[in-house]
Structure 1
Amino acid sequence: MQPPHVLSVNLGKGVVQPHASGPTTAIDKGPVPAGSLVEIRDPGPKRGGLGSGVVGDDIGDARHHGGSRQAVYAYAREDQQWWEEQLGRPIPPGTFGENLTTVGIDTTHARIGEVWRLGDVVLRVEVPRIPCATFAGHMGVRGWVKKFADEGRTGAYLSVVTPGAITPGVEVEVERPDHDIDLLLSFRAAMGDPEAAARVLGARVLHPDEHAWLADKVARRSR
């Protein structure tokens, strides 16, 4: 059995699409050639920063995507294969807009604060993906946002702790924190599950800005 690794590194260029929530969308990404070196960096803040944490990758909607805590998006190839079976069609790496298509990593149950080491590059698991209309339009599946949300296979947004360069095939060493707050629980909290929100907020493992966002959302629901 192969160790956990990056099957492909995927980049996208912004194009105008009717389903885009911004001026363009770069959700339709494609793998770089084998052996390519791809630079990973902290893009800085969502407003006024560099956008994606993957050099050569575009961000079409800078209001909702990119920035330090959404610097790199990873999705498990195993989950894409599950979706292939459900939808009855191929889903090549990059189709979900992910920068890293992984093998051997359970991104659904990755824990907040989990550290991934990819050679010299170090990434940190931050938040789950929230499906949007752009994703739905790109997939062309009726009810896609609900299907994706109900299943909870969200993939992982990561921040860049240590920048550097990676190549497709790089092995991933995972260091898990000792709490049990994973991306699926965080996703359920963000989608309105009060018990999940209470657990996530009580653990205080989110970045302070994400913690404040979730706490505000819970407070507004209770009014």
Structure 2
Amino acid sequence: MGSNPDTGARVLAVYAGRTGTLRWGGRPVASAYVKSPVEGPVTVGPEGLEGDEQGDRRHHGGPDKAVCVYPGEHYPHVEERFGGPLGPAAFGENLTTRGLLDAEVVIGATYRVGTALVQVSQPRRPCYKIAARHAALTGARRLPVELQRISRTGFYLRVLAPGQVERGQGIHLEDVPAHGLTVAEVNRVMNVDRHDLDGVRRLLAARADLPARWVETLTARLDGRYDDDTSRIAGT
């Protein structure tokens, strides 16, 4: 692919947050879901944005989940379904973007954002903390499942080369894998149509662009062993 083509995509906002507390099922839950806007350049490295934390390092953060992206175009649709407004960083994202839709962004694609080089690693798998954050919304408990079903999950980035990012910067496509598997398609197979074994095989053919844990999960499905995502969705 040609060097650094202009995709028209842009960073609308940058967010980071420290670990705080959400309430779920009558108990406190550690989470850095609530984030604040960052003005000016911020350094991003293999573990994420400077000043950003994760309350649960077992399920969040790390090189395959260094930066969480949520397309700004999704906000009106989700707000209409759930009686928003949702407010900024409503999905705990680090970057709210324009021009990077789940149905178009390819897993393994690399982008230049500011001076950082990043790679799309996986769809975000929504968990119960989204429901906890928006408990006042009608049907908030359905949010994690509904976001998966309508393929408006957002996605994560690996950081291949550290740099600085800032609100208003363009997002430039550097390279895109030939397999063409989009965030929405990977989400569908992984989270929605879990028994689509043909889909599983297509994903495994692109295993080099998936996190190792996802490859293990998908391989197990071919052997009839399915992962239980109840705790992720319901917080039990």
Shared fold, TM over 0.5: yes
User: Where does residue 171 of structure 1 map in the other structure?
Assistant: 170
Give how far 1:29 is off: 1.5
Where do residues 3-152 of structure 1 align in structure 2 (5 Å cutoff)? Answer: 3-19=8-24, 24-33=30-39, 36-43=40-47, 53-140=48-135, 141-152=140-151
2:43–2:165 contact (8 Å) kept in structure 1: yes
Structure 2 CA distance, aligned partners of 1:208 and 1:135?
A: 23
Structure 2, unaligned runs of 5 or more = 1-6, 227-236
2:107–2:183 contact (8 Å) kept in structure 1: yes
Go from structure 1 to structure 2 and tell me whether the alpha carbon gap of 1:208 and 1:17 turns closer, same or farther (over 3 Å shift). closer
Give how far 1:208 is off: 5.9
* Percent identical residues: 31
2:118–2:161 contact (8 Å) kept in structure 1: yes
1:212 pairs with 213, 216, 219, which one?
A: 216
Structure 1, unaligned runs of 5 or more = 44-52
1:180 aligns to 2:180 (yes or no): yes
Structure 1 CA distance, aligned partners of 2:12 and 2:195?
A: 33
2:201 pairs with 191, 198, 202, which one?
A: 198
Q: How many residues align?
A: 210
Give how far 1:42 is off: 0.4
Structure 1 CA distance, aligned partners of 2:107 and 2:115?
A: 21
Give how far 1:118 is off: 1.0
**Which piece of structure 1 moves more, 208-217 or 127-136?**
208-217
Secondary structure of 1:24's match? strand
TM-score for both structures, normalised by structure 2: 0.81
2:104–2:182 contact (8 Å) kept in structure 1: yes
TM-score for both structures, normalised by structure 1: 0.85
**Which piece of structure 1 moves more, 22-31 or 166-175?**
22-31
User: Where does residue 50 of structure 1 map in the other structure?
Assistant: none
CA displacement, residues 73-112 of structure 1 (integer Å, 9 cap, x when unaligned): 1010001122122223222331101000001221343111
Q: Given residue 27 of structure 1, which amino acid in structure 2 is its aligned partner?
A: Y
